[in-house]
């Protein structure tokens, strides 16, 4: 028998809703005034955010062209590292031309950002306007979110779909939770790691619905539309292009944008890595995979726990394992940070009491993580290269892992009512 993990949202009166709306509008308006002061137009924003020659570069160079010609010329091109499903799904919009398709993509990205925030509020049990506004401002000012928007990437969509999936699951909609996660997997394969959550819960229904959805969208749908022979060649070519891609700068060092464990380690301790044969870098990557597996093991134990909200800590740890498990980890992969930062702060407040030095330090860690990943801090760097090469997002992510895992050591995740947040 499945037990719902969340309580119904209490009703609020019209005055309270109006006040919450006005508070949110004021906070978001102030943030966007700051953005206008920093970046008077999208070109200035794109220039300061990364090296992309124009806003939405990945969408305009890879997604839209591939989707526009997928039916007449289903040949995967270099730079398009996604299942054919994404191109097939975008084809009706892409066929209308780059400008129309771009407007659709921007609107979809904004909608997905808000959907992810809404799902995060539901998972965290944020009922009052104040906490919801804090999370919204953290989301809209997170450097990874803006980085994803700048490139026109899919990471916001993937993170939001994952959060919605778990939100549905915790609300008792196990089948639909699997369907939503299956859609995320069909867009880009790596959200499949979140099947770990359903596996830890021993929920065959969610696993089967996710698997059937992913198989249908990744294989059956594009195979039917393109022809299975051409679809198979497309997928094989995509994987070959991905395997042949080098994530190194011209000087032989790892791409400065990558926040993958081995790449950050090689920049922090360059003497450890042999830049000529990259043997040590390969060993560092293997070590990173081992650390990632360890984080997933901690996540498994938390998700299996029957203590309320421990499964959320496990979910957050799966997110936090990203830079250890990824061959390359771009800044926009970290769009999940606001969710796990708020969760980590709540957790550390639960396991620490009083004004002890250790408690104060632990409570400071999620705040430091927020500062490191926030666009205000990012703007202090003269070049985006300096921010990324310093591994700021990797550090912001790593600081949260011991806090999220602390429940296993303290056994102090209390069955607090989420409506009290």
418 band by pLDDT with thresholds 50, 70 and 90? very low
The radius of gyration computed from the CA coordinates of the chain, to the nearest angstrom, equals: 21
Cross-strand bridge partners of residue 254: 248
* Calpha distance 85→219 (Å, rounded): 8
> 3-class SS at 277?
coil
Average the pLDDT over each of 242-246, 328-332, 410-414 and give the range with the smallest value: 410-414
Can you spell out the DSSP letters for 99-126? HHHHHHHHHHHHHHHHHHHHHHHHHHT-
Q: What are phi and psi of 142, to 5 degrees?
A: -75, 130
Q: Measured between alpha carbons, how far is 318 from 338 in angstroms, rounded to an integer?
A: 15
Cβ count near 306 (within 10 Å): 8
* Mean local confidence (pLDDT), 220-247: 91
Among residues 236, 26, 52, 279, which one has the least CA distance to residue 137?
26
Contacts of 39 (CB under 8 A, 6+ apart): 45, 48
The Cα 177–Cα 203 span in angstroms is: 11
How confident is the model at residue 1, as a pLDDT?
41
Residue 275: its pLDDT value, please? 53
Local structure of residue 83 (DSSP, 8 states): -
Residues 6+ apart with CB under 8 A from 61: 79
Q: Within 10 A of 263 (CB to CB), how many other CB atoms are there?
A: 30
10-15: average pLDDT:
57
Q: Using CB atoms within 10 A of its CB, is residue 258 exposed (0-12), middle (13-18) or buried (19+)? A: buried
Residue 308 confidence (pLDDT) above 80: no
Q: Please, which pLDDT band fits residue 244 given cuts at 50, 70 and 90?
A: confident
Return d(Cα 198, Cα 208) in angstroms, integer. 10
Tens-digit pLDDT profile for residues 126-169: 998 889 999 999 999 999 999 999 999 999 999 999 999 999 99
Rounded mean pLDDT of 245-249? 72
Higher-pLDDT residue of 245 and 377 is 377
Residue 360 CB burial class (10 angstroms; 0-12, 13-18, ≥19): exposed
Give the CA diameter of the chain.
66
Q: What is the crossing angle of helices 204-215 and 174-187, to 10°?
A: 40
Over residues 171-181, the pLDDT tens digits come to 999 999 999 99
Q: Give the pLDDT band of residue 14 (cuts 50, 70, 90).
A: low
- Contact predicate 329/260, CB 8 Å: yes
- The whole-number average pLDDT for the span 411-418 is 42
Across the chain, mean pLDDT equals: 89
CA pair distance 394, 377, nearest whole angstrom: 15
Residues 6+ apart with CB under 8 A from 376: 34, 141
Express each pLDDT in 333-361 by its tens digit. 999 999 999 999 998 888 777 677 788 88
Chain centroid offset of residue 166 CA: 14
**Closest residue by Cα to residue 394 from 190, 184, 143:** 143
Range with the poorest average pLDDT among 66-75, 268-277, 291-300, 304-313? 268-277
Query: 354-377, pLDDT tens digit by residue?
Result: 677 788 888 899 999 999 999 999
Q: Any idea of the CA torsion for 4, 401, 181, 393, to the nearest 10 degrees?
A: 140
What is the mean predicted confidence (pLDDT) over 305-318? 91
Q: How many helices (H) and strands (E) does the chain have?
A: 24, 0
pLDDT of 95 reads 95
Higher pLDDT, 62 or 53: 62
Over residues 105-109, the mean pLDDT reads 98
When pLDDT is averaged across residues 253-258 and rounded to a whole number, the result is 83
Determine contact, residues 231/74, Cβ cutoff 8 Å: yes
């Amino acid at each position: 028998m499945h037990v719902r993990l969340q309580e119904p949202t209490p009703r609020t009166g019209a005055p309270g809703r109006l006040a919450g709306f006005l508070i949110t509008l004021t906070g978001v308006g102030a943030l966007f005034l700051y953005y206008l002061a920093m970046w008077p137009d999208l070109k200035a924003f794109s220039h300061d955010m990364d090296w992309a020659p124009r806003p939405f570069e990945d969408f305009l160079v890879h997604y839209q062209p591939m989707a526009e010609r997928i039916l007449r010329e289903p040949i995967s091109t270099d730079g398009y590292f996604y299942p054919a499903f994404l191109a097939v799904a975008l084809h009706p919009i892409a066929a209308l031309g780059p400008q129309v398709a771009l407007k659709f993509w921007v609107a979809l990205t904004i909608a997905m950002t808000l959907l992810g925030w809404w799902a995060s509020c539901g998972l965290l049990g944020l009922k009052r306007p104040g906490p919801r506004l804090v999370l919204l401002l953290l989301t809209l000012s997170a450097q990874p979110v803006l980085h994803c928007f700048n490139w026109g990437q899919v990471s916001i969509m993937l993170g939001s779909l994952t959060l919605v999936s778990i939100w549905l699951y915790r609300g008792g909609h196990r089948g639909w939770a699997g369907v939503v996660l299956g859609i995320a997997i069909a867009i880009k394969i790596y959200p499949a790691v979140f099947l770990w959550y359903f596996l830890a819960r021993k929920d065959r229904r969610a696993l089967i619905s996710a698997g059937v959805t992913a198989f249908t969208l990744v294989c059956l749908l594009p195979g039917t539309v393109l022809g299975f022979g051409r679809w198979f060649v497309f997928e094989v070519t995509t994987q070959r292009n991905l395997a042949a891609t080098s994530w190194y700068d011209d000087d032989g060092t790892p791409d400065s944008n990558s926040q993958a464990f081995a790449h950050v380690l090689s920049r922090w301790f360059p003497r450890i890595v042999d830049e000529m044969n990259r043997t040590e870098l390969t060993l560092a990557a293997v070590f990173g995979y081992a650390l990632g597996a360890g984080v997933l093991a901690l996540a498994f134990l938390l998700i299996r726990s029957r203590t309320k909200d421990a499964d959320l800590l496990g979910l957050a740890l799966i997110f936090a394992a990203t830079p250890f498990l990824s061959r390359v980890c771009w800044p926009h992969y970290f769009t999940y940070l606001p969710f796990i930062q708020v969760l980590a702060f709540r957790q550390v407040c639960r396991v620490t009491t009083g004004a002890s030095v250790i408690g104060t330090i632990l409570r400071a860690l999620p705040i430091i993580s927020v500062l490191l990943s926030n666009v205000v801090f990012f703007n202090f760097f003269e070049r985006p290269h300096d921010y990324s090469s310093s591994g700021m997002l990797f550090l912001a992510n790593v600081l949260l892992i011991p806090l999220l895992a602390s429940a296993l050591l303290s056994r102090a995740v209390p069955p607090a009512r989420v409506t009290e947040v």
